[in-house]
Amino acid sequence: MATANAGPETFAGALDAGRHQLGETSPSPALDAEVLLMHVLGRDRAHLRAWPEKPLTPAQASDYAALIERRREGWPIAYLTGEREFWSRPFQVAPGVLIPRPETELLIELALAAIPADQSANLLDLGTGSGIIAITLAVERPRARVVAVDASAEALAIAQTNAARHAAINLSFFQGDWLGPLPPTERYNLIVSNPPYIAEGDPHLRQGDLRHEPGLALASGPDGLTALRRIIAESRAFLKPGGALLLEHGYDQADAIGVLLRGTGYGEINHHRDLQGHRRATMARYG
C-alpha cells in the first residue's frame, strides 16, 4: 500500500496493490480487491472504473489495507463486508452465521413451486441462521405464516435484523434446538431446512472460508447425518396431512436421505439437482 512519502493512493493503485497482495491466497484476487474497495468507499464498480486516478483519503486507505490483510489471512469476503446477496436481496451476515450460498436458492425454487402464491400456508424453517430462507419465503409468499427456529441467539438477532430490513412481517422466530421450542400443536404445510451436513472429520472444514464459519452450523456427527436424522424423525409430527419436508444435504447424501425418509414413513420422495448436476435437495411428503 502507499507509504508516507508516496502521496495519496489512487483507486487504480489500491486495486493493483490489493490484487498483488491476494494473489497467492485468494482464488479471485482481482474481484476480492474490487469488492473490498467498493465496500470501503461506499461506491459501485462503475464509479471505480470511471475515476481510476481519484485518491483515497488516509482513513479509506487504512481501512482498505486492513481488509486486504484479513482477506489474505483467509477471512471470507462476506464477513469482511458484512453482507451477501441471496435471491437478489442483500442480507447481513457475520461470523455467527453461515454465509449464504447459491445452491440454497434451489430450496427456494422448490418451496415456491410447492406453495401457490394465492393460498395461505404455514411454513417452517429449521436452523434459520441469517434468515435467508424464512425471509425470502415470507416476502415471496405474503399470505403464508412463516416460523423460523435457531439454537443460536446471535443468529436469531441477525435474522431479525434482516427480517426488518426486508419488511417480512408475516414471520416469527423461536430459539431452541430444532423442533424443540415449538408448541406441540403446531402443524405446517411445508418444513424447510438447510442443516449442518458435513462429517465432523471432513478435511474441507479446515480449508478456505469454512475455517471461519461456525462449526456447529457446518458439521453434524461422524457421517454428517446426525441433524438430518433428527429432523426427519421429528418433523413428521409437525406436518399437516400431505405436508412436505424439504431438505438441503451433501452432494453424495441423497441415497442415505432417501433411506431415512422411507424408513420413517415418508413417501413421494424426490431428489433435485443443483446447477452442477448434484442431487442437493430432497422433498418428501408424510401422511
Q: What is the pLDDT of residues 56-76, one digit of tens each?
A: 999 999 999 999 999 999 999
Helix runs in the chain, H state only = 11-22, 29-41, 45-50, 58-72, 77-81, 105-114, 132-140, 153-165, 226-235, 254-263
Q: Is the pLDDT of residue 93 over 70?
A: yes
- What mean pLDDT, rounded, does the chain reach? 92
Q: How far apart are CA 191 and CA 98, in angstroms?
A: 20
Measured CA to CA, the distance from residue 61 to residue 6 in angstroms comes to: 13
Q: Which CATH superfamily is domain 11-74 in?
A: Ubiquitin-associated (UBA) domain (1.10.8.10)
Question: pLDDT tens for residues 204-214?
Answer: 777 777 787 88
Nearest CA-CA partner of 247 in 236, 262, 231: 231
Q: Is 268 helix (H, G, I), strand (E, B) or coil?
A: strand
- List pLDDT tens digits, range 132-180: 999 999 999 999 999 999 999 999 999 999 999 999 999 999 999 999 9
Instruction: Provide DSSP, 33-57.
Output: HHHHHHHHHT--HHHHHH-TTPBPP
- The answer on pLDDT for 1 being more than 70 is no
pLDDT of residue 8: 62
Query: Exposure pattern of 110-145 as b/e (b: 16+ CB <10 Å)?
Result: bbeebbeeeeebbbbbbbbbbbbbbbbbbbebeebb
Mean pLDDT of 223-232: 94
Instruction: Copy the grid coordinates of residue 229.
Output: 436424522
Task: Kindly indicate the confidence band of residue 285, based on its pLDDT and cuts at 50, 70 and 90.
Answer: very high
Percent of the chain with pLDDT over 90: 80
103-135 per-position pLDDT tens digit: 899 999 999 999 999 889 999 999 999 999 999
| Residue boundaries of the structural domains of the chain | 11-74, 84-286
More confident residue, 96 or 111: 111
Per CATH, domain 84-286 is 3.20.20.80: no
pLDDT cut 70: percent of the chain above it: 97
Q: Give the position of cell 457421517.
A: 223
- Spatial CB neighbours of 93, under 8 Å, sequence gap ≥ 6: 78, 79, 82, 83, 84, 99, 100, 130, 158
Across residues 28-45, what is the average pLDDT?
Answer: 95
Predicted TM-score of the model (pTM): 0.88
